[in-house]
Structure 1
C-alpha cells in the first residue's frame, strides 16, 4: 500500500498531505514534475490533433461548397483563354446587370472579330469576376438573351452557319452588308442588302451568311435568344466533319472522292473569313435583292420606321403589332414573321435627350437587354436585391430582369442612344410609374404612404406621354 503510483491513481494528489508524501518517498517531487510534463505533453498532442482535424474539416466543407457551383450547361464554340477561376462573391452587385463589353476579350479571326456579353459553362472561361457575375445573372434569370458584337472587315464574310439553340436579331451599327438566307428544302434563297440603322432576323437553325460589301468595316450588334452558351455550326466545320465518301455521295461532284480530297482544312478558324487571295478566288460577285415579300420576313428598316416622340427623347421599334396596327405593308410581313417563330425578340432604339429621363417602369412580359451606342447615363434598378445607381457609357451592356423596375437618365451634353431587345415576339407590355400612381385609388395611396388623401392631387395628369421626360 506504500506504492505512490497507486495512491495517485485512486485518491489523487490533492487528498495527500505534503508532509506524508515526502516521508513516504523523498523523490516524489521529482516524480510529480515528471508526471506534470507527461500530462502536458498528452494535452498538447490532443490539442494539436484537434487543430489538424478542424482544418481538414473546414477544407472539405470548402471543397464541397465550390463543387456545388454548377450553372446550366452548354457548349462554347469560340476560342477562349483559361484563367484562374474568378469568384463573383466580392464583386459589386451592379455587375449582375452591367457588362463593360468594350473591355472584354476580343476573339480575332482572319476577317474580323467578336466580343461577348454572355454566359459560359466553365467559370475559367471568363476574363474577369465582373463578367462572371453578369453571365451567372442572365443564366439564373433565364433571360433568353446573349449579346455579341460582330465586326467584319471590308470584303470579309461571316461564313454560312446556323445557330442550334437560338434565334438571332441583329442591328447594323456601321457599314453595309449583303445577307443570304437558305430556307428549309433549299428551294428558296433570300438575299438582300442592309445598311446602318437597319435590323436583320435569323430564325433558329436557318442557314445564313453576312458579307461586308462597303468600304468600311461592318459592325453588327446581335442579340441571341439563349441564356446558355450559344451553339453554332459553320458550313466548313460541317463539311470537314463528314466522311469523304459520304460527301462524295451527297454532292456527286465531277471526280467524286478525288475532288473531295482537294479540299484542305485551314489551320485558322474561318468563322469570319477574308482570304488573302480573294481576288484570285472570286471574279464575278453580284449582290442580288430578293422580292420584298421574302426579304421583309428577315429584315426591318428600323431607322426608316415611325418615330414615337416624347418631351425628353424618342423611340423606334422593330416589333409585332396585333392586327398590324400602325404598320405599313412591308412592316406587317416582318411583324407576322416575328410572331410566328418561338422565342423571338422585340428590338428598338431609345434616344434620350441630354438631361432627359426614361421614367421608372417595368415590363410584364419580357426581360430587356441593351447596348449603349453613344452618350452616357445613369441607371437605377429596384428589384429583389438592393443595387446602387450606376453609370453607363459607349460600349456598355445592361440587363433588366422581367418585372424589375428601372430608369435611365441621360447625363452627357449629347443624346444617350441605345439599341434594346426585349424577350417577346408579342406586343411588349410596360407600365410606367406615373401611370400606376394615377391608376391606383388615392385613398389606397394615402393608407400606404401615411399621407392625407388630398396630397395625391398634387401629382398631375399629363396630356403628353411622359415616358421620356424633361425636368
Structure 2
C-alpha cells in the first residue's frame, strides 16, 4: 500500500516543486494556458506514467477514499475552461496568484462570480458549471481535491458544444444568423482545457471581473487563511468545515458550513502548520479518509493500519493518503515549519481521536491488564490544560 506520491513542478512563492524532477513524478499534462498534474486512479493501467503512480492510484481506489488530487497551474489571462464534473465535488486552495471564479447553479438562476487570493478556498458542487481565470500577472497555482476515487468524469463547455449537431445548437441558442452563426465556431487543434489564445487582445475588449453578493459567494468560497487559528503548543490548525454548533462562526462562515453539509460527499479542509520538531500526535478519524499536500517544510509520517507501512519522509510537493480508521502521525523535521493542506472525505463534522485522549479515557486497570504494567504506572501519563493535538518536546 503506497501512501505517498511526489507531484512536483515549480512554484517560486512556496518553493514547492523541485524542478530537478525524477522519472517517477506525476505526469504533467501541458496546455497553451497552463498545466495539470494528477494523483488519481486510472482504470486502464497503461495510462499510468510509472509503477509508483499506479500503486498510489490503486490504493486510493481500493480504500474507496472519495479523494483525488490535482495541481493546476494557469498562466496570466489563462482560462480553465467552463466545465462540470459528473461524479465529484471539487474543493481547491489557491497557492499562488489571484483568480476570478464563476459558478453557475440552479438552472442559471444563481450565478456567483468572485475573486480568490492566496490561502482562500473554492468549492464547486457536482454537476455545477464553473470557470477559473488567472487575473494576476504571476501564474495561478491551485491544489484541487475531488470527491471520487474512481476516474474523474468532466465535460468542458466547448466539447459539449462541438458534440451537439449544428441545427440543435441553433434551435437552442436562437442566434442572429441561425446555423450560419453556429458554423463560425471552429474546434481548436489543441485541447482547450486551459485556454490562452495568442490573439486574446483582439477577442476581448471589456473583461468583467464582477463580484457577486456575499450571501451567494460564500456558498462556494471560504477565506481559510483568514479564519480562526486553533493554537497548540507545537503548531496551528485552520479549518474550512461544517460545524454542527455554529457558535463562533461568522455569518459568511455559516453559509459555507451549510453549503458543504447540504451537498452530498463534500470535503472538510484544514491547513496544518507544525513548528520545527513539533508533532501532530498519533490519531485516527472515525468518519473520513484523509489526503494531504506539503506546501512547505519537510517531515516524517508514520501509519498503523490493516497493512504494515514503514515510516516515511515527505517534502515539498508530496501528496500523502491515510485510509479511514488508520492511526497516523506527522512530525516536522526541518528548521522551516511543515505546512500542509489536508482534505477529509466528509461534509459532516470531522470525528477524530488522539492517542493521549484515548489513553486518558481508558480505565487504568484495563490498561494494566493489556500492557502487563502495574496500574499505578499509568498515573505517570499527565493531563495538560492545553490541547496536545500538535505538541512539542
TM-score by length of 2: 0.95
Query: 1:393-437 CA distances to partner (integer Å, 9 max, x unpaired)?
Result: 000000000000000000000000000000111110000000000
Q: 1:251 — aligned with what?
A: 173
- Give distance in 1, aligned partners of 2:122 and 2:247: 21
More helix by share: 1
Q: 1:237 — aligned with what?
A: 159
Q: 1:97 — aligned with what?
A: 3
Structure 2 runs not aligned, ≥5 long: 9-24
Q: 2:200 — aligned with what?
A: 278
Q: 1:324 — aligned with what?
A: 246
What is the DSSP-based 3-state SS (H/G/I as helix, E as strand, rest coil) of the residue aligned with 2:280?
strand
Matches within 5 A, 1:180-191: 180-191=102-113
- Give distance in 2, aligned partners of 1:183 and 1:197: 24
4+ aligned runs moved over 3 Å, structure 1: none
Q: What's the CA shift for 1:104?
A: 1.2
**Which residue, out of 139, 145, 165, partners 1:217?**
139
- Give distance in 2, aligned partners of 1:189 and 1:239: 20
- Give distance in 1, aligned partners of 2:247 and 2:85: 32
Query: 1:432-467 CA distances to partner (integer Å, 9 max, x unpaired)?
Result: 000000000000000000000001011111111000
**Which residue, out of 264, 271, 275, partners 1:342?**
264
The answer to whether structure 1 residue 202 and structure 2 residue 124 are counterparts is yes
Q: 2:51 — aligned with what?
A: 129
CA 1:312–1:175 in 2, change beyond 3 Å: closer, same or farther? same
Q: 1:293 — aligned with what?
A: 215
What is the DSSP-based 3-state SS (H/G/I as helix, E as strand, rest coil) of the residue aligned with 1:131?
helix
Q: What's the CA shift for 1:188?
A: 2.0
Q: 2:318 — aligned with what?
A: 396
Query: 1:46-86 CA distances to partner (integer Å, 9 max, x unpaired)?
Result: xxxxxxxxxxxxxxxxxxxxxxxxxxxxxxxxxxxxxxxxx
- Give distance in 2, aligned partners of 1:101 and 1:119: 14
- Give distance in 1, aligned partners of 2:162 and 2:117: 33
Q: 1:431 — aligned with what?
A: 353
- Give distance in 2, aligned partners of 1:325 and 1:407: 29
**Which residue, out of 60, 75, 79, partners 1:153?**
75
More strand by share: 2
- Give distance in 1, aligned partners of 2:134 and 2:142: 11
Which has the greater radius of gyration? 1
TM-score by length of 1: 0.80
Q: What's the CA shift for 1:115?
A: 0.1
- Give distance in 1, aligned partners of 2:148 and 2:360: 37
**Which residue, out of 158, 176, 191, partners 2:98?**
176
Q: 1:20 — aligned with what?
A: none
* Greater RCO structure (CA 8 Å; 6+ sep): 2
Q: What's the CA shift for 1:326?
A: 2.0
Matches within 5 A, 1:318-467: 318-467=240-389
- Give distance in 2, aligned partners of 1:320 and 1:414: 31
- Give distance in 2, aligned partners of 1:188 and 1:421: 27
What is the DSSP-based 3-state SS (H/G/I as helix, E as strand, rest coil) of the residue aligned with 1:322?
coil
- Give distance in 1, aligned partners of 2:367 and 2:337: 35
Query: 1:303-323 CA distances to partner (integer Å, 9 max, x unpaired)?
Result: 000000000000000000113
Q: What's the CA shift for 1:189?
A: 1.1
Query: 1:333-388 CA distances to partner (integer Å, 9 max, x unpaired)?
Result: 00000100000000010000000000000000000000000000000000011111
What is the DSSP-based 3-state SS (H/G/I as helix, E as strand, rest coil) of the residue aligned with 2:283?
strand
Query: 1:231-266 CA distances to partner (integer Å, 9 max, x unpaired)?
Result: 000000000000000011000111111111111101
The answer to whether structure 1 residue 166 and structure 2 residue 88 are counterparts is yes
- Give distance in 2, aligned partners of 1:181 and 1:460: 50
Q: What's the CA shift for 1:107?
A: 0.1
Query: 1:248-288 CA distances to partner (integer Å, 9 max, x unpaired)?
Result: 10001111111111111011000000000000000101200
What is the DSSP-based 3-state SS (H/G/I as helix, E as strand, rest coil) of the residue aligned with 2:169?
helix
- Give distance in 2, aligned partners of 1:455 and 1:265: 74
Structure 1 runs not aligned, ≥5 long: 1-92
- Give distance in 2, aligned partners of 1:273 and 1:245: 26
**Which residue, out of 238, 242, 267, partners 2:189?**
267
Q: What's the CA shift for 1:128?
A: 1.0
**Alignment RMSD, CA only?**
0.6
